Amino acid sequence: MPAQEVDVLVIGAGPTGLGAAKRLNQLKSASWALVDANEEAGGLASTDETSEGFLFDVGGHVIFSHYAYFDDVLKQALPKPEDWYEHQRVSYVRSRDVWVPYPYQNNISVIPTDDQVKCIEGMVDAAELRARATAAPKTFDEWIMRMMGQGLADIFMRPYNFKVWAVPTTLMQCKWLGERVAAPNLKTVISNTLTKKVAGNWGPNATFKFPARDGTGGIWKAVAKTLPQDKLHFKQRVTKVDADGHMVHLSDGSEIRYKHLITTMGLDYLVKNLDGIDHATKDLLVKTAKDKLVYSSTHVIGIGIRGELPNRIGDKCWLYFPEDDCPFYRATIFSNYSPYNCPASDKALPTLQYADPSLGQPSNSEPQKGPYWSLMMEVSESHLKPVNHETLLADTIRGCVNTQLLMPDSEIVSTYHRTFTPGYPTPSLERDEALQEILPVLLERFQILSRGRFGSWKYEVGNQDHSFMLGVEAVDRALFGAPEMTLDSPDFVNGRRNTERRLAE
């Protein structure tokens, strides 16, 4: 069978690949096709459903946006007001057995007095350190010490970020920070501490949207439905990329020839599996990726619980856990995002276990009705932070009891555990050097644009809106030579409302 020929081939139907497809379909100036190994769209923004009817996203995802184009696409895919819930973020850090409003560094007024003193003394020292500094900090740890000081570093920033990234802050760069980490204002912190006040919401996700039904994955399935279905090829795994021949080989034996390739495969995986490339170049790309690109794995653990949502949980959204009384660094009250993330209250389910297994097996094994609510936790893993896979679910449930997310007699009716390797692209010290050595070679020599969370390996532009626009801008780069602002200037796009592109209706 002769190879199909297109101007642009897109690999992957996650947000980045769908962004490229939407832009190609809008422009109608180039032939294109999209292939994905999965049965439906979503990628790393998918949603799973347990046999009991609980939904869990494959990681913590909410919708907030820096781009008018992204908003246009979502409005087209899910146009009705009832398609969405809008929330004010209610977020806390569990520290010293109290809930500290997020961001922690702005709200030390609620922690024990001894810790307040350590934090304020550290911030004073940090201010003096900044005044004497003659060069920018090189590592995340240096940034923490310069912006926050020893107290906050030891009590929160170092332990929490190790739980998130599974590498120490000394092995991370700080160019990725941008709007993601709040630098405290010393005067405000002191004033709030003395007057026992807490700071208001901070950050771009202080308000956010979430789909009413089908979880985050439902968004991307809806976006995929707005595209020509004959151009979307699911359950087609890429077996080989012939870089010099501009040919992709698929698992069903078919081939697609392209002028430009936009791929969302992991960059390390891509360079390792490129064919049609001289040995010296391939060896260099593979070595650079292996030596300089770092990632962590992510475990997503979901728990479905019978009963009314407890008052101690209330309207909380997501919560942070820097201490070692639980394995997870973040917990989401997933049922608070949408009631449809849980089965209907009239569905009868048996109790699998109490949260504290020492209470023994439930006395009544018969299915009983709800209501229900749910928790979703995330745990990181790396060679520097190993995880016992066999006990992780039990350890997580125990951690929920330790942190009062669950009570010992909470009735668990559903559990979920899925591991993602890789899970997060780490902003390592040598990451930018690696990207400068790999991405231009792929683009200039082989017309391959590697984009997306792991295609371009930039966490600072790894949210759903960023990932989508990486695909949109890759199309404009391939067809018109336009600059890719999201890829190349994260601080610029994150610091403004980007309205240059709109989706024509």
Q: pLDDT tens digits for 19-43?
A: 999 999 999 999 999 999 999 999 9
Between CA 290 and CA 288 the distance in angstroms is 6
451 by DSSP, 3-state: which?
coil
Residues 14 and 118 in one domain: no
With cut-offs at 50, 70 and 90, classify the pLDDT of residue 364: confident
State the pTM of this model: 0.94
Q: What is the pLDDT of residue 2?
A: 73
pLDDT tens across 191-247, in order? 888 888 887 665 566 788 999 999 999 999 999 999 999 999 999 999 999 999 999
What's 486's domain CATH number? 3.50.50.60
pLDDT band at 187 (very low <50, low <70, confident <90, very high): confident
Do 125 and 115 lie in one domain? The reply is yes
Which of 139-143, 205-209, 256-260, 476-480 is least confident? 205-209
Range 59-71 average pLDDT: 88
Same-domain status, 367 and 283: no
| 181 & 222 share domain | no
pLDDT band at 422 (very low <50, low <70, confident <90, very high): very high
Please give the tally of structural domains in the chain: 3
Tell me the pLDDT of the chain averaged across its residues: 93
d(CA 490, CA 145): 24
145 and 225, same domain (yes or no): no
Answer yes or no: is 374 within a domain.
Answer: yes
Q: Is the peptide bond before 103 cis (omega within 30 degrees of 0)?
A: yes
Contacts by 348-354, CB closer than 8 A, 24 or more apart: 349/52, 349/304, 349/306, 349/413, 349/414, 350/413, 351/306, 351/411, 351/412, 351/413, 352/412, 352/413, 352/414, 352/415, 353/412, 354/408, 354/409, 354/410, 354/411, 354/412
Q: Is residue 54, in this structure, part of any structural domain at all? A: no
User: pLDDT for 110-129, tens place per residue?
Assistant: 999 999 999 999 999 999 99
Residue 202 pLDDT = 58
By the 10 Å C-beta count (0-12 exposed, 13-18 middle, 19+ buried), 309 is classed as middle
Model confidence at 409: pLDDT above 80: yes
Token pair 């998130």: residue: 164
Range of the domain at 181: 107-195
Q: How confident is the model at residue 5 (pLDDT cuts 50, 70, 90)?
A: very high
Q: Average pLDDT, stretch 147-166?
A: 96
Q: Are residues 418 and 326 in the same domain?
A: yes
- pLDDT of the residue at 199: 75
